[in-house]
């Protein structure tokens, strides 16, 4: 699936991923390929990104925490998420 993480400053990440876990206002949840369409508010926490072959732009690497070669975390204070048609868009603060 395609993931885009957009902040007020710029698009922090755009690429193919295996899964995304986010801190929803009613608890953390994860999305995989072909997840049902969803719109959710996000609260403070970490967006967990798992994929096998994606790159983070050099100017934004400091915002992400690398867990291993396939897993990264991005801390957010709030945001909104939309998943539709195997594409996830996270508008993050």
User: Using one digit for the tens of pLDDT, what is the confidence trace for 7-49?
Assistant: 999 999 999 999 999 999 999 999 999 999 999 999 999 999 9
Give the pLDDT confidence score for residue 35 in this predicted structure: 94
pLDDT above 70 as % of the chain: 100
When pLDDT is averaged across residues 66-73 and rounded to a whole number, the result is: 94
Give the pLDDT confidence score for residue 37 in this predicted structure: 97
- SS3 at position 25: coil
Rounded-to-integer distance, Cα 38 and Cα 70, Å: 25
CATH class of domain segment(s) 2-84: mainly beta
Model-wide pTM > 0.85: yes
User: Quick check: 81 and 39 in contact, CB under 8 A?
Assistant: yes
């Amino acid at each position: 699936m395609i993931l885009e993480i957009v902040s007020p400053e710029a698009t922090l990440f755009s690429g193919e991923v295996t899964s995304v876990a986010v801190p929803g206002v009613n608890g953390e949840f994860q999305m995989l390929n072909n997840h049902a369409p969803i719109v959710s508010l996000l609260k403070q926490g970490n967006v967990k990104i798992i994929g096998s072959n994606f790159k983070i732009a050099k100017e934004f690497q400091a915002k992400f925490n690398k867990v291993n070669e396939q897993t990264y975390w991005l801390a957010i204070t709030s945001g909104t998420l939309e998943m539709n048609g195997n594409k996830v868009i996270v508008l993050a603060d």
